[in-house]
Chains A and B, each alone.
Chain A
């Protein structure tokens, strides 16, 4: 299931503006990799290049290579739609479909992928909601709208929706920044469980969070406003937070800038 991501020489643009430049890194399967860095350094942009969501933005385009095991996501003849079925994503603000019930939200991705029997759908929905630690809270109201849940529950619903299609990789773009500390803790625990099955990449502004949940941490920075963001270093989380090899990383982590 979980696959290795291998990025080489990736540059992304918004129109003529170069947002990130020449990024290369490897993300191991069944691990959690955290992206940290100041606002505007391109970590979210980079995350969105990993499931070809960047090009959805008007003017967005990408150069370079992203390999998922031995498949080039930007290769000729690769359909972005099929890439996104393989690489799931959870967004900053919980975004369950407001017009769908809790059940339909989780089943949404499956229904895109083909015909399932009702009983199959029920099994997958239950399994996904359990996987997102939400089942006990919602099992009696699966037919109620997802928008009636609390923010933290909505975000776990979005995680359930993303994992229901059994992606190889799960991308998370600041999944806790709109949540209270208790809901954040619930999501962080969940990330710890999910990494048994998926390759997880998470963007976060919260350095304690990066330290708590991730195995590897990548630090992004930009030389000045208007300059493209760059990957400064990527290393084991423990090392990044105790003894980083680049001075800028240490400055950022210790709060001297950013």
Chain B
């Protein structure tokens, strides 16, 4: 039998319309409606780019004014004293706090969100799915200041117990040791951020899992897969890039969260080895707490720190895209 040669034979070429006709049709410039719409959409695109460029240029200019007068090292100084003569400030503590609290939030939120999404799409009884999804949507609609107040008034007092437990059993690791201060630390921030980013990661993951083609799940079932094996073979691999995107949306919110962090954290300008020690700070929290009382120069310095946050966010998104692109040929999009 010689199927291989037969099936690779090229079919006879299909006659194509002449190139010029194709081009004209694609451009669609012959009808006034098309021309107006083309102008509008192109204009919007250009406007967006122009606004972005203007903002970036403004921020970079103001930031450079502040950084050029900084007596400390902008990247490594553990201090934020813009009123001193000469001014000394650096973003080391803010960068550390922002990244650590976001990592804690992701570590807590992503597995729970994926589990909820799988429960909603594959385990929950049909009539429960709607109501649960609705409650999760509601969580996403709560303003962040409300999370902050809830965190400060209810979460923080309750965390005393958890902190004591962590200190007793995991204190030897160093990162979970606790001196007994108020539980207003990086871990507190991380837990609160996890709750805040849970809905968005859950919702996007649920949407992704729901779009897993029936035929892939049936393929696994027909091989004798259990429900969990179907999820492992067909659902999770298909949803992988979607879950990464969902996590990035959540991470974006965690990195930039302002009011909630400012409400539950007792900030200082030190890097604490233990996640349970009160203190530290994040970019957004630092800007929020200092902006209203800052001098013009102080504001420029805060803008400079904001630019660093912007760059970190860009890097994280770039990394996520790279992860997704690396496995592109295996993604569900080729199904």
Binding site for B on A (CB under 8 A): 51, 53, 56, 58, 81-86, 88-89, 91, 93, 95-101, 108-109, 112-113, 133, 136-137, 144-145, 147-148, 150, 152-153, 158, 161-162, 165, 182-183, 185-186, 189
Contacts and interface: CB of A to CB of B under 8 A. Distances in A.
B74 interface: no
B223 A165 contact: yes
B331 A98 contact: yes
Given A58-B126, A100-B330, A112-B229, A152 B221 contact: no
B330 A98 contact: yes
Interface string B208-239: 00000101101111111110010001100110
A84 B330 contact: no
30 contacts: A53-B218, A56-B218, A84-B222, A84-B224, A84-B225, A85-B224, A91-B222, A93-B215, A95-B213, A97-B219, A97-B220, A97-B234, A98-B216, A98-B332, A99-B237, A99-B332, A112-B224, A112-B225, A136-B4, A145-B334, A147-B335, A150-B7, A152-B7, A153-B7, A161-B219, A161-B223, A165-B224, A182-B3, A186-B1, A186-B3
Contacts of A185: 3
A189 B1 contact: yes
B6 interface: yes
Contacts, number: 106
- Sorted nearest first, the 10 A-B pairs with minimum C-beta distance are A85-B224, A99-B237, A89-B222, A147-B334, A109-B223, A95-B215, A84-B224, A98-B335, A186-B3, A95-B219
Nearest to B240: A99
B223 A112 contact: yes
B238 A99 contact: yes
A225 to B, nearest CB: 24
Given A88-B223, A99-B331, 8 more contacts: A56-B221, A85-B223, A98-B216, A98-B334, A99-B237, A100-B330, A112-B225, A137-B4
B4 A100 contact: no
Interface string B48-82: 00000000000000000000000000000000000
Given A133-B1, A148-B329, A97 B216 contact: yes
B241 to A, nearest CB: 10
Contacts of B126: 58
Contacts of B215: 91, 93, 95
B222 A162 contact: yes
Contact of B330 (A56, A145, A165, A189): A145
Given A112-B229, A137-B4, A145 B329 contact: yes
Contacts of A147: 329-330, 334-335
B3 to A, nearest CB: 4
B218 A108 contact: no
Nearest to A58: B126
Contacts of A189: 1, 3
Nearest to B234: A97
Contacts of B233: 97, 108, 112
A148 B1 CA distance: 23
A182 B6 contact: yes
A85 B221 CA distance: 9
A81 B1 contact: no
B221 A84 contact: yes
A53 B4 CA distance: 33
Interface string B180-220: 00000000000000000000000000000000010110111
B224 A109 contact: yes
Name which of B9, B222, B233 has the most chain A CB atoms within 10 A of its CB. Answer: B222
Contact of B223 (A84, A136, A145): A84
